[in-house]
Chain A
Amino acid sequence: MAYGIDVELRNLTKRYGSFAAIDDISLRVPSGSFATLLGPSGSGKTTTLNAIAGFVTPDEGEIRFNDQAVSQIPTYKRNIGMVFQSYALFPHLTVGDNVAYPLKMRDRMSRAAVAERVRECLAMVRLEGYETRLPKQLSGGQQQRVAMARALASRPRLLLMDEPLGALDRRLRDQVQIEIKEIQRQTGATFIYVTHDQTEAFVMSDLVVVMNDSRISQVGTPTQIYDEPDNVFVANFLGGSNLIPATVEGVDASDYLVALGDGTRLAVPRRGQSMNVGEAAYIFIRPEDITVGAPTGAQERTVDVAATVETVDFHGDSLRITARIKNTSDVISIRTGRHQPVGGGADIGVSWKVDVSRLLKR
């Protein structure tokens, strides 16, 4: 049997007064996988973690660990490790004693074994030799790493981490991300991880759970979430995206036929949400999937649109071009190689492959 716990949320709702902090959330995180809750501030990520930990009692629905309902199991018996958004280190205990706390509560280990484990865990977060310091003597990032070491110390089968790398600078963050991912592979524990940072979510996760307004907007692998957003919120929240207004005019076996504002007709594959003829929609395309150049004309399953360049911005490794589609007010943004020879006001042709676009409900 795998080491990690299989976590399932069934129609979980938690209300504060009439406001639902989480609203009918259902989710399954298979044993040993790394799931990330990603969403804007106030979308219910911490509330979800707290419900899994047992600090928040759901008003409706249930939580199951390995197919057993856990409502009767108090938090201290759930065998979890947890990193809090506010670090929540014990201010009166040294770093060593903070990390040793779960071992003292849960495991009957000799003093030497505890010390050894503490050393190991601190090494994992690159804080060797900090045992005797007090939390207040550490920087925010160091405190966060101590919190991480404490959560990992008793080798729990489920780890709940609430933005554990928020206070770290980019480089250290990258290092610790790799470290966490490695720990997860080695231990086979289940990780449920909260972050604001989409790159972090993509790099680390098997499963990305996008939350918005107390609900789950979409669940999927990083590539699914990025390439095949289910709705406008997910499309916008993750990276730059183009959402070009269009109207559905027809459906065939593989594609929707849609019309842009100027009447230009083009095809979008039939995937995801099903739409009716006459319905208002958005065509979703990532900026990096659009190419600038002469019409490809004859090429199979490609869309060509005429546009006028409005701005060109240098982004170091790429150029961002915004262009207005001819005879409409719709602006698209394009990411190209940095040597694209275009300037403001130029008339260009833009094209994309039908299969990289998607139709989303407006």
Chain B
Amino acid sequence: MSAVLTNILRGVNVFVLAMLLFPVIVVVGISFSSASFLRFPPPGLSLQWYEKILTDPSWVNALVLTVQVGVISVVVAVVVSVPMAIALVRYVRRGRGFLSGLLLSTFMTPTIIQAISIYQFYVPLGLLDTVYGLAFAHAVSGIPFVVINVVASLGQIDENIERAAVAHGARPARAFVNVTLPIIAPSVMVGAIFAFMHSAHELLIATFVLGTIRKPISVKLWEGVKVTVDPTIAAATTSVIALGVLLLIMIALIRRTDVRRRAA
């Protein structure tokens, strides 16, 4: 490729990255502000807003709730998704494309539509205003993240590896647990992390299903934006971003060790 073209591409890259990161930089900057209003760049630095969050039970509760919902939804999503991915890769002959499309359609459906339909669906089930209700709802939208990752990883495994276990005396179920599961485990983890982040960020379903009673971080942030205009929300947002970055680093580490293990 010519040097000119390379430089143009590099310029475009930097520009796009700046566009993407700018809001994050502003929010993070404001969260460390010493002023009590939203202003960028901040006039001075302090940790007062973090202190405020950590000493305010409503923020702490929101954080705990978010983790609770996230963990339950991820567990449910994983338990459903792994067998689903296996079925898709190994047993579905006809209509695999259709089923995969159906799965991905949750990404295409506007969340507000999902929120409204889940709301109506939950009323008669008594799941409205419950932590489990929200967790299940998030599990449903978290499933595609896990399935996609596991399907990709299963597709790469040499089918003879599991056969080798069976040939040498393992029952098929045992071979799966001994061999296939450890091999796909990193992909399950990565999918689970995506699903967790999805749950932590998700606002609309959370508002409809649980938001009037208890507020996870996303809902609390949204309400914060509506009523107060001090850097507390910036600090809370930064915390959520930090969590995401942490999980992304984890993903990178998992991928690295996984790739290293595969490379042979």
Closest CB in chain B relative to A150 CB, distance in Å: 7
Distance between Cα atoms of A160 and B163 in the complex (Å):
13
- Given the complex of chains A and B, what is the CA–CA distance between A136 and B183 in angstroms? 13
For A84, A150, A160, the residue with the greatest tally of chain B CB atoms inside 10 Å of its CB is A84
Within 8 A of B (CB), among A293-327: none
**Choice from A88, A106, A154 contacting B163 with Cβ under 8 Å:** A88
Interface check B161, CB cutoff 8 A: yes
B152-168 at interface with A (beta carbon < 8 Å)? 158, 160-161, 163-168
Chain A nearest CB from B171 CB (Å) reads 6
In the complex, A91 Cα to B164 Cα: how many Å? 12
For the complex, is A135 an interface residue (Cβ under 8 Å from B)? Answer: yes
Chain B residues with CB under 8 Å of A101's CB are: 165, 168, 170, 178
Task: Check B169 against A105 for contact (C-beta < 8 Å).
Answer: yes
User: Closest CB of chain B to A167's CB: distance in Å?
Assistant: 12
Main secondary structure of the interface of B (DSSP, over half): helix
A135 to B183, CA, bound (A): 13
Interface of A is mostly: mixed
Q: Does A281 contact B (CB under 8 A)?
A: no
The answer to whether A86 touches B160 (Cβ under 8 A) is yes
Q: Are B160 and A76 in contact (CB under 8 A)?
A: no
Q: A76-B169, A106-B168, A106-B169 are in contact. Are A88 and B260 (CB under 8 A)?
A: no
**Residues in B neighbouring A79, C-beta threshold 8 A:** 169
Chain A residue with minimal CB distance to B179? A90
Chain B, residues 228-263, CB within 8 Å of chain A (1/0): the string is 000000000000000000000000000000001111
A82 touches B168 (CB 8 A): yes
Nearest A-chain residue to B172, judged by Cβ: A76
Q: Is A134 an interface residue, CB under 8 A from the partner?
A: yes
Determine whether A53 belongs to the interface, using a CB cutoff of 8 Å to chain B: yes
Q: Are B168 and A135 in contact (CB under 8 A)?
A: no
Report B117-172 residues with CB < 8 Å from chain A CB: 158, 160-161, 163-172
- A141 smallest CB distance to B (angstroms): 12
Tell me, rounded to whole Å, the shortest Cβ–Cβ distance linking B262 to chain A.
7
A89 within 8 A of B: yes
Q: Is the CB of B169 within 8 A of A88?
A: no
A105 and B264 contacting across the interface, CB-CB below 8 Å? no
Contact (A91, B262) CB under 8 Å given A84-B160, A84-B163, A86-B158: yes
By beta carbon, the residue of chain B nearest A92 is B182
Given contacts A86-B158, A90-B179, A91-B262, contact A150 B164 (CB under 8 A): yes
A75 within 8 A of B: yes
The answer to whether A84 touches B164, judged by C-beta atoms less than 8 angstroms apart, is: yes
Check A143 for interface membership: any CB of B closer than 8 A.
yes
B264 touches A135 (CB 8 A): yes
Residues of B within 8 A of A137 (CB): 264
Contacts of A53 in B (CB 8 A): 163, 167
Which residues on A sit within 8 Å (CB–CB) of B172? 76
A134 in contact with B163 (CB, 8 Å): no
> Which residues on B are within 8 Å of A, measured CB to CB?
158, 160-161, 163-172, 174-175, 178-179, 182-183, 260-264
> What are some 5 contacts across the A-B interface (CB < 8 A)?
A79-B169, A86-B160, A90-B165, A92-B261, A106-B168
Q: Give me 10 other A-B pairs in contact (C-beta within 8 A), A86-B160, A90-B164, A91-B183 excluded.
A: A76-B171, A76-B172, A84-B164, A88-B158, A88-B161, A91-B262, A105-B165, A136-B264, A153-B168, A160-B167
Interface of A with B (CB < 8 Å)? 53, 55, 74-76, 79-82, 84-86, 88-92, 101-102, 105-106, 134-138, 143, 147, 150-151, 153-154, 160
- Closest CB pairs A-B (n = 6): A105-B169, A136-B264, A102-B168, A88-B160, A106-B169, A82-B167
